[in-house]
Structure 1
Amino acid sequence: MKVSFDAAGEVVVITGGAQGIGAALARAVTACGGTAVVFDVVKPDVGVDYVEVDVADRASVESAVAMVMARYGRIDGLVAGAAVQPRSTVVEMDPAEWTRTLQVNLDGVVWVCQAVVPHMVARRSGSVVVFTSGMAVTGWAGAAAYASSKAALIAFAKSLAAEVAEHRVRVNIAAPGVIDTEQFRGANAGADREHWQDTIGIGDPEDVVGPLLFLLSDAAAMTGSVLTRERAFPKLTTFAE
């Protein structure tokens, strides 16, 4: 069964969309005829609209969303993907590192939802996707701040979903698994990378695009759900070996 998505006339805001999964999604939205607007501190290489935003700064987020609304008059989808993943043990963790991780990974999602969701409620249409991680359940040595932020996001997204369901705005959660991004490589060098490769496998950013497009589409008649990708699908070259 082949599936295609039509995003003509729709506007999707992607935080953290300059690299990795966000950049792959921005390209896909554009290919589907939609408009992708990337909020990031780094300018993306992909040819999409870009607004320099530090999602931890609530005023910056509000200003960026106002710019998008002034330019396009609508936001149909929001994918809140901006995150940082520092590594240190709990005992050795710098308090500033803990604070910054929660500010970006958790507060940043709250601020962008507060700015975008009222516009969706007013139109009685819209889809929000936030990212969690398997570490939200299992934890991971040296990643307490990241894992904690991702666990909190599940509760936040499910709560928001319950609040706006009557307005036909959907809020779902994606757990993309282990994906080969710059952030992943920076946080999982050496033995950690080998562990992931030898167990559940490491996927590519493009592997996550289809599920994200589905969650953004009208076909995803669900809210408050967690869509989980448990392991990497073997590459086609594997079957030929």
Structure 2
Amino acid sequence: MKAQFDATGSVIAITGAANGIGRALALACAKAGAKVIALDVDDREGEALQSEHAHIEYRHLDVADRAAVSRVFADVLMRHGQIDGLVLGAAIQPRIPVQDTPADTWQHVLDVNLNGVVWCYQAVLPSMIARRAGSVIAFSSGLASSGWLGASAYATTKAALTAFVKSAAKEVAAHRVRFNLIAPGVIDTPQYRRANEGNDGAHWQQTLGVGAADDVVGPLMFLLSDAASMTASLVSRDFAYASRDDA
């Protein structure tokens, strides 16, 4: 069965949109007819993404800056009138053993990966409640339950997000706003490459397999769509299967 999504008339905001999964999703949503607000701190890649499709609008945003989050989303809502989908993909993943992690590094991971999700959610939620419609998606990770060497800060934020989303989703279910999680599995992105140089990269290739950013687009489009009559749920992609080219 072939899935097709029609996002005509929708406004989709994506944080962490300049690279990896966010970039792939931005292009897919734009091609499906949505107006896409691509948010990131990587201006060079963000502006390059904007140039690829007329429906993509790039905005610089550091999600750890609560004031900037409020200002940018207020402007988006003023200009476009609505945000139908919010995909919270911005994250950082430094690999440092706990005993060597400086306090400011630990705090920065929490500010981007966890607090940044909260600030964006707070900025967009009232408009979704008022319209009684909206889909919000945050990213978890298999490391939230399994952990990994040097990834304590990252794994901590992903575990915390699971508790946050499952609680927050229940608060807004009566308003027909959906809030779900996706654990995309091991995906070949610029962040993955930086975090898994050397032996770690070989480990994932030989165990879970490493997928491509486009592999996650379908599940994300489903969660954004009105076909996903679910909330407070975690969609987990645990293993990379062979593509047609590999068969």
TMscore range, shorter length: over 0.9
Cα deviation code 1:8-59 (max 9, x no counterpart): 0000000010100000000000000001101111132222201111000000
Provide the rounded CA distance (Å) in 2 between the counterparts of 1:235 and 1:98.
37
Cα deviation code 1:41-96 (max 9, x no counterpart): 11322222011110000000001101111110000000000000001101111111
In structure 2, what residue type is equivalent to 1:54? D
Provide the rounded CA distance (Å) in 1 between the counterparts of 2:106 and 2:91.
13
Aligned to 1:112: 120
Given candidates 70, 78, 95, the residue that maps to 1:87 is 95
Given candidates 203, 207, 213, the residue that maps to 1:199 is 207
Secondary structure of the 1:106 match is helix
Q: TM-score, normalised by structure 1?
A: 0.98
Aligned to 2:53: none
Q: Which runs of 5+ in 1 are unaligned?
A: none
Aligned to 1:155: 163
Provide the rounded CA distance (Å) in 1 between the counterparts of 2:214 and 2:12.
17
Instruction: Please state if 1:227 is matched with 2:235.
Output: yes
Q: TM-score, normalised by structure 2?
A: 0.96
Number of residues of Structure 1 aligned to a counterpart in Structure 2? 239
In structure 1, what residue type is equivalent to 2:110? L
Q: Which runs of 5+ in 2 are unaligned?
A: 51-55
Cα deviation code 1:128-165 (max 9, x no counterpart): 00000000001111000000000000001111100000
In structure 2, what residue type is equivalent to 1:29? C
Deviation at 1:235, TM superposition (A): 2.2
Given candidates 154, 157, 179, the residue that maps to 1:171 is 179
Aligned to 1:46: 49
Give me the identity figure in percent: 54
CA RMSD of aligned residues (A): 0.6
Aligned to 1:9: 9
